[in-house]
Structure 1
């Protein structure tokens, strides 16, 4: 079974097997936003066994009219609150937000493949 993922409209492919050797660069590094919808908030809260209000207070902050998952600052780096350094993985993987599911196929990277390659070792030129 191939781990190479292609998506129409993108001039690169993604080798998902690279994730096992990467230090979760998509979940760590520079500070950023990890936006979640109302449905995703409910799904994640249920997944980790919290009521929605408690989940929102503990793990989210409001940026404009959107909610984003909080980050932890480790040294000079930031990481998603749900990134686990020990397992090098996501503790809410089964309930992760669409933004995480769709990475690295974001419109932003369509014309910035070189920038994407710096973040993700699984990017392959088309």
Structure 2
């Protein structure tokens, strides 16, 4: 079943994620923001102390944290992108930024760009 969110002119079919090969996790370098609660949950899931998790997987940008990236093909991938399954290795524990994709305010005015990145989106008919 497709998801629709108020204020957005497109729907999203999460079943398409199964065949997408993780395009939202790879590409140009960018920030993958993660908050303190998400850091805590994910570090516990990985059986790491919070400080060890931060050192291994995060970079600090000002007062915020972003998940590290790794080189992938001709761009970058999230550190938690599984290159064998072409999916997120921490899907159930992924940060809110990932959970809310593709319903980001940025894409309200940049739908064509979103279409290139996500095969699960479709403009709603008026």
TM-score range (shorter-chain normalised) is over 0.9
Q: TM-score, normalised by structure 2?
A: 0.94
Alignment of 1:97-116 (within 5 A): 97-116=95-114
1:32-80 CA distances to partner (integer Å, 9 max, x unpaired)? 1100001111011011110000000000001122100000012421000
Structure 1: distance between partners of 2:100 and 2:43: 20
CA RMSD of aligned residues (A): 0.9
For structure 1, the residue ranges without an aligned partner over 5 or more in a row are none
1:80-119 CA distances to partner (integer Å, 9 max, x unpaired)? 0101021221111111100000000011111111111111
Paired positions, count: 124
Runs of 4+ aligned structure 1 residues displaced above 2 Å come to: none
Q: Which residue of 42, 48, 51 maps to 1:50? A: 48
Show the counterpart of 2:81: 83
Show the counterpart of 2:71: 73
Mapped contact 1:59–1:69 kept (Cα < 8 A): yes
Mapped contact 1:48–1:92 kept (Cα < 8 A): no
Show the counterpart of 1:9: 7
Q: TM-score, normalised by structure 1?
A: 0.94
Mapped contact 1:31–1:78 kept (Cα < 8 A): yes
Question: Residue 105 of structure 1 aligns to a residue in which SS?
Answer: coil
